């Protein structure tokens, strides 16, 4: 299982409710094997339109990028990524903040 989370997690705004998330693929030496899948965790931290507690979503991919779409307007999210090998998951990367604004 990986001993580190992916590095260089970054985001590029696609439109007001979508971001392209990219990260550096984990090398085999840090993953202690071949990475079979990445899990992207999206956490809603703050929403201008309602006062709700944190909401978590998880998405799986075999590539080192993912487009997250359908995000709430006027909200702040944190995105973290972790790799999975046949042995199991590694730790999450440091969170990256996404901020959506009103139209």
CATH code, domain with 34: 2.60.40.10
Cβ-contact 82, 38 below 8 angstroms: yes
pTM for this predicted structure: 0.88
pLDDT in tens, 46-70: 888 766 666 789 999 999 999 999 9
Cα angle 99-89-30, degrees, rounded to a multiple of 5: 95
Cβ-contact 91, 23 below 8 angstroms: no
DSSP result, the chain? --SS--EEEEEEEEETTEEEEEEEPPPHHHHTS---EEEEEEEEEEETT-----EEEEEEESSSEEEE-SPPSSEEEEEEEEEEETTEE-PPPPPEEEEE---
**Range of the structural domain that residue 88 is part of:** 7-100
Count up the domains in the chain and report the number: 1
pLDDT in tens, 26-41: 998 888 899 999 999 9
Residue 1 within any structural domain of the chain: no
Residue 2 within any structural domain of the chain: no
Bridge-based pairing state of the strands 88-89 and 55-61:
unpaired
């Amino acid at each position: 299982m990986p001993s580190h989370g992916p590095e260089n997690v970054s985001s590029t705004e696609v439109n007001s409710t979508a971001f392209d998330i990219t990260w550096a693929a984990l090398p085999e030496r840090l993953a202690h094997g071949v990475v079979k899948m990445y899990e992207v965790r999206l956490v809603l931290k703050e929403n201008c339109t309602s006062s709700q507690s944190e909401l978590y979503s998880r998405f799986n991919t075999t590539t080192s990028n993912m487009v997250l779409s359908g995000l709430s307007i006027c909200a702040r999210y944190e995105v973290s990524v972790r790799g999975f090998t046949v042995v199991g998951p590694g730790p999450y990367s440091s969170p990256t903040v996404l901020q959506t604004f009103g139209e």
